[in-house]
Structure formats: structure tokens, C-alpha cells
A and B are shown apart, each in its own frame.
Chain A
Amino acid sequence: MTGAQLVIELLSRQGVKEVFGYPGGAIMPIYDALYGAPVKHYLTRHEQGAGFAAVGYARSTGKLGVCLATSGPGATNLITALADAMMDSVPLLAITGQVPTAAIGSDAFQEIDVLGMSLSCTKHSYMVEHVDELAEVLQEAMHVACSGRPGPVLVDIPKDIQMAQVPFHPWLADEVEEYAEVDLAQLTKANELLANAKRPVAYIGGGVQSADAQAELMDFLNASTMPAVSTLKALGSVLPSYQYDLGMLGMHGGQAANLAVQQCDLLVCIGARFDDRVTGNLAKFAAKAKVIHLDIDRAEIGKRKPVAAMLHADLKASLPKLKPARTSSSWLDTISAMQTQHGWRYDYPGHEIYAPALLNQLSQKLPPNAVVCCDVGQHQMWVAQHMKFSHPSNHLSSGGAGTMGFGLPAAIGAQIARPDDTVLTVSGDGSIMMNIQELATIRRNNLPVKILILDNQRLGMVRQWQQLFFEGRYSETNLSDNPDFVQLAAVFGIPGQTITEGQEVAQAVDNFVNAKGPYLLHVCIDDKANVWPLVPPGAANDEMMTENA
């Protein structure tokens, strides 16, 4: 068999059934091997679309996502998706074609040093230098992508190696993962802290999904009756029915979530990394609290905030070892009062469409296993604030990288991975244009992806910051020359509807949710609408700006 055929054979043996990509000169042997192969290839209309479709596939299932691209510009177009997967710890395998070995270093046509480019945006990367190492490299790459803290791995394969004959390699024995055991002294310390805390809060991160530890998390929370706050990526980890779920914390977090963290005396960080969007002013973040940090990545523990106890282990193993906290009833009374005082309100006056209310209505009408993808900006924060999720794999939002253009291709990947579930993407009029070409992928594959565009004819989040922090100097954020999005969708054979008035929302949301195929709902909202609350730059999380402040 050829190296190219071996690539497809190994993917198939690893259980990869679907891949995303775009062909070109240096990866043609692999595309030839794909022809008629059991691994189904989905052609996107840009390599970035392939990368994000693979991310959506991975995040909605927990399985490895795979994307393919040719050398040079094909490979560079994948880079943003790799960076996104790196920041959000997504198991991703990117296979790129490279010019033939003899041409490397000669500035050949479509030759880019993608291995060099990959260094800062992958967990690991390889260039295959000889066909005899191809099988081992690929198997190791898949293992590295999925093990420990997951992440993207790139394998660059020169064209001559794809075409070379290689003896069939039996599947290598899977490496047995050796995770650090929970340190008993640290565990004792953590349990002492839990026993002595009066005002504990659990701070939940994306590690819960990576470890498939939602059940262990809920067991711990239920036993402790501990208030819980979540990062953007963790939303859905805490079941919506949990009484003391305070939702998202941080820059656009809920007031109750932020205030609870600021007042707690023990912060139990579970698979999170004290990101700057979460902490605000770090010196003032949970300043009265001792910290227990649970994480599989040792480098995250103590990176931003000193800890009193650390459990460096897989969350699935470490969470059950924690003893329940003795959360005081007065603390729970305080939390309940915060929830009542700072709950979201949807009684927005006026006839215009109020995006938070629309998203809340939409959330209530979706089936429990619907997958909601997002782009980046105001709409992304409204989704995080006003929609509920039963599992983190049902909320796909570009967290660490904050990549506009993520949502549409991620929804394509999620829909292919979960064909029986409702999949939608909520986007803004800025973000949707970043990968609009993927409407063709939806049409080509008749995917029933639903697209909701919240259109304020602005780059809304930037506009909001210009209003608040740049003296209203609205530099390059006016998008009043947007195309007609419904007509644009129609060109791709996708039906849709525009709404402009609050009274149209209920019917339009019904049409949207119940549409059998793909559908685009174009929602015109006030260009002055802002996301509240907001922790301004440099401020502590209890110094939130609110709409009426």
C-alpha cells in the first residue's frame, strides 16, 4: 500500500468515520486514497471552515476531529482553527500535504514551513521524514491529541511519502496512560479546607467536559450544596436543575456569580485556568478565598493564582476523592438572596426585539440535546447568559481564542457528528460574514443547520467598548451596508425570514425551531443594545457596570 492509503487505513482503524478538508496539489495522493474509502470526507469551501468543522465535530462528541489541507496556503488557512483548538483544549488532528522531500527548503510552489508555524498553536506537531515512520507518527499523533489535556496535533506529510510504498503496519499497542495519582498529602489538605470552609464556591472550567466528569461533578456539588459558577466553556457542566447554579462568571458574568466568588472563603477550581476574562483584576479576584485547584495539567496549577491545595490528576479520578463541603446555611441564604436580587429580567419596554429575551425563549423551545454554536461578540455573551445547556457538548463557543467565524463551520461539524440532534448557530452580522462560504457546505450536504443572525448593523462588542471607553469614537464598526442575509441564504437554497418587531418573535422562533431543513432567521436589533453587566478593564469583578448604573 502507499503512504496515503496507510493514512486512511489508520484513521479508519482508529474509528474516524468523517473528516473535513479541501484538496490541493501536495495532498492529492491522500485524496486519491479517500476515493471510495470508508472514511467519509466533507468538502468545505475554505480550509478554515474544515478546521472549525472538525473542532465542532470534536467538541460536540468528545471524539477526535480530523481535518485535511494541502501545503502552503491550504495549511496556513488551518492555523486559526489550530490556535482555537489549542486555547480550548480540543482533540484535533490536522493532516497537511507538503511539497516533496527533495523540494523542501527550496521555496517551491506552495511550500510553507507549516511545522515551524505550528509550534505556537499545537499541542504537538510532526513532519514525516520517511515513509517507514508514518504509521507510528500517525498513531502517536492521535494519541497525543486525545490524551491528558486534549489539544490539536499537526502531521505534515511530504507528497513523495504519501506516494511511497509502505508495508502494512499492524496497529501498534495503545499506550497505557499513566496519570499522576492524587497526592495524599494534598488531598488531606483539600479535605480539611472543605471541612472548614463556611462560604465555598465551585469554579467550573472546560476540564470537566474533557474528563467526561459531569456525573462526578454533580455528585460532588449535590453532596456539598456548594454554589457553582462556570466559565464560558464549562456552561452545561452544571445541570440547569441544580439549585445553586449561578451561571457564568467574569467580564460578562452574572452579578450573583461574580459576587459569590468575591465573597467566598474557599474557591474550588475544577478544570479551569483563571483566564483574565474570568478574573478581572487578578489581585482582587476572590481575594478572601483559599484555593483548591483540580487539573490534569500541572502547568495550570498556580499559574495565575496561588493555591492552598492542588489535585493534579484526571478529574474523573480526583473529584470522587473530595469530601463534601459543609456549606453553611447562612451562605446558602446569601446566595439565594443574590439569585433573587440579580436574576435576569426580560420585561424590556418598547416594541423592538430584545435579544436576551429572544434567546431565552429560544432556549426554552429547543429539545434538551440541541447543540447551540456561537460566533464571537455580543450575541455570544447573550447566549452564555440567557440560554441553558444540559451538557458542555451542547454549547460550542470559541472561548480562549475568541474567533469570529467559528460558529457556522462548527455547527456543520456538530450536525454531521450528531445527525439526529437539532443544531443551530447564533451569530452576529459581523461574525457570520467571516465564513459565510460554508452555506455552500450546508446546501451540498443538505444539513438541517439553523442559523440565527442577531443584526445590529455594527461590530457590536467593539462598538460597545468604543461607546464606553473610547469616547464614542466609532472607528470602523458601522456595518449598515450589510447584504440582505435572507436573500444571501436564498442564493444557497436556504430559506429564511427577517423580523424587526418584538411581536414577531414568538412565531419566528417557532418557525425556526420547527424548520425541517436549514433555515436562516435574520433578527434586526437595536444598534445601541449593549451586553450587561460588564466588568470594565482593570476592575474587580464586584465593580460591575450595569445598564442603569
Chain B
Amino acid sequence: MKHQLTLAVKKHSIAIERFLRVARHRGFALTSLELEGAKNDELFHIKMTVDSDKPIYLLTTQLSKLVEVKDVQLQTLKQQAV
């Protein structure tokens, strides 16, 4: 099942690798990624689509824990209740 997420991530180069690693490791295949970071903005604004049989909250809760991730929003499809 595909899910689209938007993330606000602190503009550190390692931060991109960090959240992408979490997505892969937790079993969510990346199908698209858009990243924007204006020069004066302290954050990267990211849209990503992931595909997995697993409920999406298993990813959003892990991403929300990352120190550099300031916001995670699920854009499409219902989040499976815990």
C-alpha cells in the first residue's frame, strides 16, 4: 500500500540519509522523493511516497523520534489505528 508523507527536517546533510535509512530498515520502499530547502530556511521540506504491506504508523512513529525530524504528516490514505 502506498502512503505519501511530508516531513520537515533540520537542514543537515546527514539528516536525509538518516530518515531514508529508517524507512528502508522498517520495511517501507521509497517510490518517490521531493526535497526542497531554500537558502535561508533552516529546514528541508520533503514529500515522499513509500510502499509497504505494513501499517504506516510503524514508520511515522519511528520518523517522529529522529532528532532532526521536526514534523511528520501523513498526506493520503487512512492511518491504521493502533
Task: Confirm or deny: A310 has a beta carbon within 8 angstroms of a beta carbon on chain B.
Answer: yes
Question: With contacts A127-B14, A298-B64, A299-B62 known, is A119 near B21, CB below 8 A?
Answer: yes
Choose among B21, B25, B67, B82 the residue that contacts A124 (Cβ–Cβ < 8 A).
B67
Structural contact, B58 and A144, CB atoms closer than 8 A: no
Structural contact, B82 and A307, CB atoms closer than 8 A: yes
- Nearest B residue (CB) for A115: B14
Residues 298-316 of chain A: 1 if any B CB is under 8 Å from the residue's CB, otherwise 0?
1101110011001000000
Structural contact, A144 and B67, CB atoms closer than 8 A: yes
Residues 272-302 of chain A: 1 if any B CB is under 8 Å from the residue's CB, otherwise 0?
0000000000000000000000000111011
Give the complex CA separation of A204 and B82 in angstroms. Answer: 21
Give the complex CA separation of A124 and B65 in angstroms. Answer: 10
Task: Confirm or deny: B70 has a beta carbon within 8 angstroms of a beta carbon on chain A.
Answer: no
Choose among B21, B64, B68, B82 the residue that contacts A302 (Cβ–Cβ < 8 A).
B82
Task: Confirm or deny: A36 has a beta carbon within 8 angstroms of a beta carbon on chain B.
Answer: no
Structural contact, A116 and B65, CB atoms closer than 8 A: no
- Nearest A residue (CB) for B14: A115
Residues of B24-63 contacting chain A, CB below 8 A:
25, 57-58, 61-62
Interface residue tally for chain B (C-beta within 8 Å): 15
Task: Confirm or deny: A514 has a beta carbon within 8 angstroms of a beta carbon on chain B.
Answer: no
Structural contact, B18 and A303, CB atoms closer than 8 A: no
Structural contact, B21 and A120, CB atoms closer than 8 A: yes
Question: With contacts A127-B14, A297-B65, A307-B82 known, is A120 near B25, CB below 8 A?
Answer: yes
| A453–chain B nearest beta-carbon distance, Å | 37
Question: What is the predominant secondary structure among interface residues of chain B facing chain A?
Answer: helix
Task: Confirm or deny: A397 has a beta carbon within 8 angstroms of a beta carbon on chain B.
Answer: no
Give the complex CA separation of A120 and B82 in angstroms. Answer: 25
Give the complex CA separation of A454 and B66 in angstroms. Answer: 41
Interface residue tally for chain A (C-beta within 8 Å): 18
B21 neighbours in A (Cβ, 8 Å): 119-120
- Nearest B residue (CB) for A141: B67
Question: With contacts A124-B67, A144-B67 known, is A299 near B61, CB below 8 A?
Answer: yes
Give the complex CA separation of A302 and B57 in angstroms. Answer: 9
Give the complex CA separation of A388 and B30 in angstroms. Answer: 48
Structural contact, B17 and A116, CB atoms closer than 8 A: yes
Residues 403-445 of chain A: 1 if any B CB is under 8 Å from the residue's CB, otherwise 0?
0000000000000000000000000000000000000000000
- Nearest A residue (CB) for B68: A124
B61 neighbours in A (Cβ, 8 Å): 298-299, 301, 303
Give the complex CA separation of A306 and B81 in angstroms. Answer: 9
| A13–chain B nearest beta-carbon distance, Å | 22
- Nearest A residue (CB) for B63: A299
Structural contact, B65 and A306, CB atoms closer than 8 A: no
Question: With contacts A301-B82, A302-B82, A307-B82 known, is A119 near B18, CB below 8 A?
Answer: yes
Task: Confirm or deny: A125 has a beta carbon within 8 angstroms of a beta carbon on chain B.
Answer: yes
Give the complex CA separation of A115 and B13 in angstroms. Answer: 11
> Which of A116, A303, A306, A310: most chain B Cβ within 10 A?
A303
- Nearest A residue (CB) for B82: A302
Give the complex CA separation of A119 and B18 in angstroms. Answer: 6
Structural contact, A299 and B65, CB atoms closer than 8 A: yes
Give the complex CA separation of A309 and B68 in angstroms. Answer: 29
Give the complex CA separation of A123 and B64 in angstroms. Answer: 12
> Which of B14, B57, B66: most chain A Cβ within 10 A?
B14
Choose among B17, B65, B82 the residue that contacts A119 (Cβ–Cβ < 8 A).
B17
Question: With contacts A124-B67, A144-B67 known, is A303 near B14, CB below 8 A?
Answer: no
Question: With contacts A120-B25, A144-B67, A298-B64 known, is A303 near B58, CB below 8 A?
Answer: yes
Residues 112-139 of chain A: 1 if any B CB is under 8 Å from the residue's CB, otherwise 0?
0001100110011101000000000000
> Which of A115, A299, A303, A310: most chain B Cβ within 10 A?
A299
B18 neighbours in A (Cβ, 8 Å): 119
7 contacts between A and B (CB under 8 A): A119-B14, A124-B68, A299-B58, A299-B64, A299-B65, A302-B57, A310-B82
9 more A-B contacts (CB under 8 A) besides A120-B25, A297-B65, A298-B61? A115-B14, A119-B18, A120-B21, A124-B66, A144-B67, A299-B64, A303-B61, A306-B82, A307-B82
For the complex of A and B, the 10 pairs showing the least CB-CB separation, nearest first, are A302-B82, A299-B61, A124-B67, A299-B62, A119-B21, A298-B61, A119-B18, A299-B65, A115-B14, A144-B67
